Chains A and B, each alone.
Chain A
Amino acid sequence: MKIIHVTLAGLGLAALMALPATAQKQAPAPRVADGQPNLEGIWTNATITPLERPPELAGKAFFTEAEAVAYEKQMAERNDVDRRPASVQTDVALGYNAAWWDRGTRVVKTRRTSLVIDPPDGHIPALTPDGERRAAARAADIRLHAADGPENRSLGERCILWPTAGPPMMPGPYNSNYQILQIPGYVVIFIEMIHEARMIPLDGRPHLPSSVRQWMGDPRGHWDGNTLVVDTTNFTDKTRFHGASENLHLVERFTRTDADTILYEFKVEDPATFTKPWTAQMTLSKTGGPLYEYACHEGNYSLVGILSGARAEEKDRQK
């Protein structure tokens, strides 16, 4: 596995060198009181760069500066119009016109064309037979029991866990904002989406016993030079990041590359689900605060609406 790490480090370096000049102008940040490199601040990973490389960009890992500008302009135009999809179902699914969303307007600062950097084709590796079997079972369950009760609905709809809030942290539809705090012995990441906080101990303690499973896993942090490495295990079998099993081993790396940027990378290892490990990378950009409280349960009328809608449809079918 050592070789893979070295390769990734090389890729990371290439990416850093590809950063626009504006992102390189300031020296790396100083350290916080206990000597940790400083990652503190409010950050966003909102971006229009997709997780996987779009087919039309096959073989192209990076945009040039001009291409990035053109792509951002094109996406802004597409997202800014009050579009009416041809399909009514798509129109209903989108919920509102595009202005209600907050997906960001920029590509990642490395100008990569996908968040997935390994495999180099920018695509999540194929599922294992076991991964496929579990995905098919879930799909069948959703089909047969779409809304029997609240337990059938997604974790996000139930305000339990947001699929992009992480770990790992992915750009979401809105609230893709994070506050990093560093206190002696810990790094704390407060995630605006469904107001989660990750407490990451740095004292080298072992992971929890494998019998203890947590929705957001069990994180352990350490510093590799100026890079914060967070190793997370002990997930539940309900968390399922991109179909992962409870044995997902997630390794995140945070490197402050200038005053306004953290290079954030995560590696997904789950041999039960993916035919090989994969790695995604994005830039976190400094942004203005404050983070707002997103108390998801406060007025989650939609869950009631979905269940009562399903009951109404059942009655219609019986007629």
Chain B
Amino acid sequence: MRSKGIGLAMGAALLVAPVWAHHAFTAEFDGNKPVKLHGTVTKMEWINPHAWIHIDVKDADGKVTNWMVECGSPNTLLRRGVTKASVTAGMEILVDGYQSKDGSNKANGRDVTFTDGKKLFLGSSNTGAPGDTPEK
């Protein structure tokens, strides 16, 4: 019941969050398969309803596997100042997420971190997005 207690403390707005996601992440990704991927971006797909980052991940033996990482809505990314120039081929990123239930090389990008330690898009409470504009 520990999680329930914390959930209540977080407030109703956060409790309903999973219901409001575009799709059920719990149906697509597996909580028993957390992944931490260090890879090189091969491309980023700016598509609806969610953007996807593709990365090459090299294992200890030097074998390279391509992974797809699910991101947020492209509209939101753009409003937060993220453009096609923000994540480009050749960039190194660290992805912290969960692997898909079907076992393919897909994961949700719970956290996407650059090599300088900056987390993608995190850290601003006033993003300039609609609804965030300060009252005139």
A residues at B contact (CB < 8 Å): 20, 22-23, 42, 44, 46-48, 50, 52, 54, 75-80, 82-83, 85-106, 146-147, 153-154, 156-157, 159, 163-164, 172-177, 192, 260, 285, 287-288, 292-303, 305-306, 308-313
Asked whether A100 and B12 contact (CB < 8 A) given A87-B3, A295-B48, the answer is no
Distance in angstroms from A303 CB to nearest chain B CB is: 7
Q: Give Cα A310 to B98, complex, Å.
A: 16
Which of A46, A293, A312 meets B102, CB within 8 Å?
A: A312
Asked whether A287 and B130 contact (CB < 8 A) given A302-B22, A305-B100, the answer is yes
Asked whether A176 and B130 contact (CB < 8 A) given A299-B49, A299-B50, the answer is yes
> What are 26 A-B residue pairs whose CB atoms fall within 8 Å in the complex?
A22-B135, A54-B11, A80-B124, A85-B6, A88-B31, A90-B7, A93-B17, A94-B110, A95-B25, A96-B71, A99-B121, A100-B71, A100-B77, A157-B24, A174-B73, A297-B48, A298-B48, A301-B52, A301-B106, A302-B22, A302-B49, A305-B100, A306-B23, A308-B101, A308-B104, A309-B29
B132 within 8 A of A: yes
**Contact: B21 with A299, CB < 8 Å?**
no
Q: Which residues of B contact A156 (CB under 8 A)?
A: 22-23
**Contact: B125 with A76, CB < 8 Å?**
yes
The chain A residue with its CB closest to the CB of B100 is A305
Q: Which B residues from 1 to 44 make CB contacts under 8 A with A?
A: 2-3, 6-7, 10-14, 16-18, 20-32, 34
Which of B18, B24, B78, B136 meets A292, CB within 8 Å?
A: B78
Name the interface size band of chain B: 35 or more
Q: Which residues of A contact B84 (CB under 8 A)?
A: none
Asked whether A102 and B131 contact (CB < 8 A) given A48-B13, A86-B2, the answer is yes
**Contact: B76 with A102, CB < 8 Å?**
yes
Distance in angstroms from A106 CB to nearest chain B CB is: 7
Q: Which residues of B contact A46 (CB under 8 A)?
A: 130-132
Asked whether A54 and B12 contact (CB < 8 A) given A91-B31, A99-B122, A105-B126, the answer is yes
Q: Which residues of B contact A302 (CB under 8 A)?
A: 22-23, 28, 49-50, 70
Distance in angstroms from B10 CB to nearest chain A CB is: 6
Q: Which residues of A contact B22 (CB under 8 A)?
A: 156-157, 173, 302
Q: Which B residues from 56 to 95 make CB contacts under 8 A with A?
A: 68, 70-80
Q: Which residues of B contact A47 (CB under 8 A)?
A: 131
Asked whether A92 and B25 contact (CB < 8 A) given A86-B3, A292-B75, the answer is yes
Q: Which B residues from 96 to 133 make CB contacts under 8 A with A?
A: 98, 100-104, 106, 108-111, 119, 121-127, 129-133
Which of A20, A76, A105, A305 meets B28, CB within 8 Å?
A: A305
Q: Which residues of B contact A147 (CB under 8 A)?
A: 27
**Contact: A95 with B49, CB < 8 Å?**
no
Which of B7, B29, B47, B123 meets A99, CB within 8 Å?
A: B123
Q: Give Cα A231 to B34, complex, Å.
A: 48
B residues at A contact (CB < 8 Å): 2-3, 6-7, 10-14, 16-18, 20-32, 34, 45, 47-50, 52, 68, 70-80, 98, 100-104, 106, 108-111, 119, 121-127, 129-133, 135-136
Which of A101, A154, A163 meets B17, CB within 8 Å?
A: A101
**Contact: B111 with A82, CB < 8 Å?**
yes
Q: Give Cα A46 to B131, complex, Å.
A: 5
The chain B residue with its CB closest to the CB of A259 is B136
Q: Give Cα A196 to B75, complex, Å.
A: 15
Q: Give Cα A152 to B81, complex, Å.
A: 36
Q: Which residues of B contact A89 (CB under 8 A)?
A: 26, 31
**Contact: B101 with A309, CB < 8 Å?**
yes
**Contact: B101 with A312, CB < 8 Å?**
yes
Q: Which residues of A contact B21 (CB under 8 A)?
A: 93-95, 173
Q: Give Cα A93 to B81, complex, Å.
A: 25
**Contact: B71 with A309, CB < 8 Å?**
no
Q: Give Cα A83 to B127, complex, Å.
A: 18
Which of B25, B73, B126 meets A175, CB within 8 Å?
A: B73
Given contacts A96-B109, A309-B101, 20 further A-B contacts (CB under 8 A): A23-B135, A90-B18, A91-B98, A91-B110, A92-B108, A96-B110, A100-B73, A102-B129, A147-B27, A153-B23, A156-B22, A157-B23, A176-B131, A285-B133, A298-B49, A301-B70, A305-B100, A305-B104, A308-B102, A310-B27
